[in-house]
């Protein structure tokens, strides 16, 4: 795992080194720069994972080609054998050299055959271009700045900002207020963008022209054979998952697994412990608040699997101490508070390991969230407009925020539109703006017929929530402590196969992830995992009324509205007042405003 940087100009070495220093946690082991020709500068910080020898340090040059690469190519050993068969000679054991040699051999077709998480750029001296790409699900970040004759890119927005004068985009700020993050391809700064997941680009240096292409997408497939029974589908998925875990266990440094005690991390850990020749190390967090604590289940599962388990005792102060880390390492304003717990987990795990397996991705692929079940429960209302109107009126009279939100959601004609509304943080009525709000580039996944409504919601979340929230949270939190997280559920083969799994195998008996649970039952007793989904959350609502109360009250400072002019001061006061009185749970909105304020003070105003 690493950090990359590049620009279509020759910069002073000290400037490049200063930029690389700002993302040192992504690569604390080695820092290098290179100037492949008289018009290109490249830089790299390395976290050594595969082939620890300095010969594999980057930027790596072969002939007229030079690469900077962040991530892992999990099937690199197979690709290496194929390239050797084609006559290619290697000087390292790294996946970086395999990736570059594969590009030299097959050009941009390499994207169809690599399996990994990555963002990389290759300077192709033969064509005089930058060729780059980001992995299929957006696990690794890629920011770029494009203006006139300047093209600059980095793994870190903070590093990209160094030496540049960026202005905050008011449209992107509105998007943040809506969703709690800034969705791709937009960025919180003007003229800065994020390369979308599953996309590649060519930047033609001779004419300063950027060309972006999509190389992968969800397929929305169905089984050709409708008679295929559940056991056959389960076996096929299980085999793919086993191989997905296996290829992610290749590492020249110590590795382990996050084990929350939930279904997804338990399955990945169970498979990994079967594969590992050494006793697998596992890690979980124990919260002092019982409502948020699953550590007892994690400990039972670890004991049954025979892992070397560490339970990290998490006090309020330890979590609160992660707020500055959270703000500093999340380049853009970001509101998922579970990132605080993820930061603490990463900090403690890093003392023992450098690579950690995780269970992220299963909820989106196999309908694990409660919100899918909620949509299913109300689906009958959308078949009868009169009944829906009656329910809307009833909920409108109930004096609670949740009821009012349900009533507002019922005004939409389709479940897809209701779902999109329900995922918003601040509604359009609460945001003051005359600016054109940027379109939702992923709305087509909600309307992708003949996919069922629930399958469309799943597709939408894979392209949005999984990418913009989950992957951002995991990447920034782990990289803050130079720890690499690998997610077997996000293997593109698992994703492609999940698209073919019939809905009845994902959702059954009022519960999601049915097929995942059935695979887990091959490893663990059902009594250890058949319980209500808990999630990875922290007790912010309680802290707002106690330890964080002064920080919450700082939102009443009039200067706040100089940096967030889209929010009415009266609305903020009302949100805080109702939260403190217990009339409403406004935790998410208050935290979002706090995150933006703290981000602006750290990254923009100073």
7 and 145 assigned to the same domain: yes
Burial category of 18 from C-beta neighbours within 10 Å (exposed 0-12, middle 13-18, buried 19 and up): middle
Query: According to the per-residue pLDDT averaged within each range, which of 363-367, 422-426, 442-446 is highest?
Result: 363-367
Of the residues 214, 248, 283, the one at which a domain ends: 214
Both structure tokens of 199:
């996309």
Cis peptide before 450 (omega within 30 of 0): yes
**CA geometry: angle at 439 spanning 436 and 444, to 5°?**
160
463 and 490 assigned to the same domain: yes
Q: Across residues 202-211, what is the average pLDDT?
A: 96
Q: What's the confidence (pLDDT) of residue 411?
A: 77
Rounded to a whole number, what is the distance in angstroms from the first to the last CA of the chain?
A: 30
Query: Which residue carries 């050797």 as its tokens?
Result: 84
Residue 46: which of 31, 59, 60 has the closest Cα? 31
Cis peptide before 126 (omega within 30 of 0): no
Name the residue with higher pLDDT: 224 or 253: 253
151 and 274 assigned to the same domain: no
Q: Are 327 and 602 in contact (CB under 8 A)?
A: yes
Of the residues 481, 499, 528, the one at which a domain ends: 528
10 and 146 assigned to the same domain: yes
| Per-residue confidence band for 313, with pLDDT thresholds at 50, 70 and 90 | confident
Of the residues 160, 190, 214, the one at which a domain ends: 214
Q: Across residues 441-464, what is the average pLDDT?
A: 88
Report the phi/psi class of residue 499: left, alpha or beta, with left for phi > 0 and alpha for psi in -120 to 50: alpha
Q: Across residues 332-341, what is the average pLDDT?
A: 94
Residue 74: which of 114, 43, 38, 34 has the closest Cα? 114
* Residues present in the chain in total: 606
How far, rounded to the nearest angstrom, does the alpha carbon of residue 461 sit from its chain's CA centroid?
A: 11
Q: Are 158 and 172 in contact (CB under 8 A)?
A: no
Q: Is the pLDDT of residue 287 over 80?
A: no
Q: What's the confidence (pLDDT) of residue 290?
A: 60
pLDDT tens profile 465-511: 999 999 999 999 999 999 999 999 999 999 999 999 999 999 998 88
The pLDDT mean for the chain works out to 91
Report the alpha-carbon distance of residue 557 to residue 366 in Å, rounded: 44
Provide the sign of the torsion angle of the four alpha carbons 537, 542, 547, 548, taken in this order: positive
265 and 342 assigned to the same domain: yes
Q: What's the confidence (pLDDT) of residue 434?
A: 65
Burial category of 448 from C-beta neighbours within 10 Å (exposed 0-12, middle 13-18, buried 19 and up): middle
| DSSP single-letter state for residue 28 | B
Burial category of 318 from C-beta neighbours within 10 Å (exposed 0-12, middle 13-18, buried 19 and up): middle
pLDDT tens profile 30-49: 999 999 988 899 999 999 99
Asked which of 109-113, 507-511, 557-561 is least confident by mean pLDDT, the reply is: 557-561
Q: Across residues 162-187, what is the average pLDDT?
A: 94
Q: Across residues 232-255, what is the average pLDDT?
A: 96
pLDDT tens profile 516-551: 999 999 999 998 888 676 656 677 888 888 888 999
How far, rounded to the nearest angstrom, does the alpha carbon of residue 511 sit from its chain's CA centroid?
A: 24
pLDDT tens profile 54-64: 888 899 999 99
- How many structural domains is the chain composed of? 2
| Per-residue confidence band for 289, with pLDDT thresholds at 50, 70 and 90 | low
**Residue 294 domain boundaries:** 230-367+459-528
**CA geometry: angle at 160 spanning 159 and 162, to 5°?**
65
Paired residues of 256 in beta bridges: 281, 356
Q: What's the confidence (pLDDT) of residue 401?
A: 63
Report the alpha-carbon distance of residue 307 to residue 524 in Å, rounded: 14
pLDDT tens profile 119-138: 999 999 999 999 999 999 99
b/e code 107-116 from CB counts within 10 Å (16+ = b): eeebbeebbb
Asked which of 25-34, 310-319, 378-387, 473-482 is least confident by mean pLDDT, the reply is: 378-387
| Per-residue confidence band for 605, with pLDDT thresholds at 50, 70 and 90 | confident
In-domain check, residue 81: yes
| Per-residue confidence band for 562, with pLDDT thresholds at 50, 70 and 90 | confident
In-domain check, residue 566: no
In-domain check, residue 237: yes
Q: What's the confidence (pLDDT) of residue 132?
A: 98
The secondary structure element, H or E, covering residue 342 is helix 338-349
Taking residue 441's Cβ as centre, other Cβ atoms within 10 Å add up to 14
135 and 186 assigned to the same domain: yes
Q: Is the pLDDT of residue 277 over 90?
A: no
Report the alpha-carbon distance of residue 117 to residue 466 in Å, rounded: 14
60 and 138 assigned to the same domain: yes
Q: Beta strand pairing status for 308-314 and 40-46? A: unpaired
Instruction: For the chain, give the longest Cα–Cα distance.
Output: 74
Report the alpha-carbon distance of residue 33 to residue 68 in Å, rounded: 10
Q: What's the confidence (pLDDT) of residue 541?
A: 84
Residue 303 is part of a domain; what is its CATH number?
3.40.50.620
207 and 248 assigned to the same domain: no
Provide the sign of the torsion angle of the four alpha carbons 339, 341, 342, 347, taken in this order: positive
- Please tell me the pTM assigned to this model: 0.94
Provide the sign of the torsion angle of the four alpha carbons 25, 26, 29, 32, taken in this order: negative
148 and 124 assigned to the same domain: yes
CA atoms lying within 13 Å on the CB side of residue 584: 20
In-domain check, residue 499: yes
355 and 290 assigned to the same domain: yes
In-domain check, residue 555: no
107 and 17 assigned to the same domain: yes
Residue 16 is part of a domain; what is its CATH number?
3.60.20.10
In-domain check, residue 385: no
In-domain check, residue 267: yes
Q: Is the pLDDT of residue 28 over 60?
A: yes
Q: Is the pLDDT of residue 264 over 90?
A: yes
240 and 299 assigned to the same domain: yes
In-domain check, residue 378: no
């Amino acid at each position: 795992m690493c950090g990359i940087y590049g620009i279509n100009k020759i910069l002073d070495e000290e400037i490049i080194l200063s930029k690389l220093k700002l993302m040192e946690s992504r690569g604390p082991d080695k820092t290098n720069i290179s100037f492949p020709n008289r018009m290109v500068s490249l830089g790299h910080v390395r976290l050594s994972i595969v082939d620890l020898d300095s010969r594999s340090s980057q930027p790596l040059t072969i002939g007229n080609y030079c690469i900077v690469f962040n991530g892992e190519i999990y099937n690199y050993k197979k690709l290496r054998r194929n390239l050797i068969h084609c006559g290619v000679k290697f000087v390292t054991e790294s996946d970086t050299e395999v990736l570059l040699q594969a590009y030299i051999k097959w050009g941009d077709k390499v994207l169809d055959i690599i399996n990994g998480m990555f963002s990389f750029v290759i300077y192709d001296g033969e064509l005089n271009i930058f060729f780059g790409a980001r992995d299929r699900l957006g696990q690794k970040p890629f920011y770029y700045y494009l203006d006139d004759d300047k093209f600059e890119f980095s793994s870190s927005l903070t590093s990209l900002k160094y030496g540049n004068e960026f202005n905050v985009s008011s449209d992107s700020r509105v998007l943040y207020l809506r969703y709690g993050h800034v969705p791709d391809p937009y960025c919180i700064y003007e003229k800065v963008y994020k390369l979308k997941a599953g996309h590649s680009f060519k930047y033609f240096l001779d004419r300063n022209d950027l060309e972006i292409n999509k190389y992968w997408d969800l397929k929305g497939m169905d089984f050709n054979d409708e008679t295929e029974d559940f056991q056959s589908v389960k076996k096929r998925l299980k085999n793919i998952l086993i191989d997905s875990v296996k290829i992610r266990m290749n590492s020249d440094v110590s590795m382990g697994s996050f084990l929350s005690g939930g279904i997804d991390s338990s399955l990945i850990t169970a498979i990994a412990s079967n594969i590992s020749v050494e006793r697998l190390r596992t890690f979980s967090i124990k919260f002092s608040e019982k409502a948020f604590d699953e550590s007892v289940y994690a400990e039972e599962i670890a004991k049954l699997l025979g892992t070397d388990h560490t339970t990290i005792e998490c006090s309020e102060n330890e979590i609160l101490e992660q707020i500055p880390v959270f703000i500093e390492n999340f380049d853009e304003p970001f509101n998922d508070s579970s990132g605080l717990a993820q930061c603490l987990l990463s900090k403690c795990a890093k003392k023992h390991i450098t690579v950690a397996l995780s269970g992220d991705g299963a909820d989106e692929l196999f309908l694990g969230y409660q919100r899918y079940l909620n949509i299913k429960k109300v689906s009958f209302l959308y078949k009868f407009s009169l009944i829906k109107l009656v329910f809307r009126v009833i909920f409108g009279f109930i004096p609670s925020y949740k009821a009012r939100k349900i009533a507002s959601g019922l005004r939409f004609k389709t479940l897809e539109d209701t779902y999109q509304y329900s995922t918003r943080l601040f509604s359009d009525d609460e945001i003051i703006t005359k600016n054109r709000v940027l379109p939702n580039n992923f709305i087509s996944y909600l309307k992708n017929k003949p996919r069922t409504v629930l399958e469309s919601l799943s597709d939408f979340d894979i392209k949005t929530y999984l990418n913009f929230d989950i992957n951002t949270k995991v990447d920034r939190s782990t990289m803050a402590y130079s720890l690499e997280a690998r997610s077997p559920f996000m293997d593109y083969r698992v994703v492609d196969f999940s698209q073919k799994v019939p809905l009845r195998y994902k959702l059954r008996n009022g519960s999601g992830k049915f097929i995942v649970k059935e695979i887990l039952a091959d490893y663990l007793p059902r009594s250890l995992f058949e319980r209500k989904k808990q999630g990875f959350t922290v007790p912010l609502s309680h802290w707002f009324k106690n330890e964080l109360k002064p920080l919450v009250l700082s939102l009443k400072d009039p200067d706040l509205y100089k940096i967030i002019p889209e929010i009415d001061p009266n609305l903020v006061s009302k949100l805080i007042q109702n939260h403190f009185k217990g009339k409403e749970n406004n935790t998410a909105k208050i935290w979002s405003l706090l995150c933006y304020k703290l981000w602006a003070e750290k990254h923009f105003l100073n």
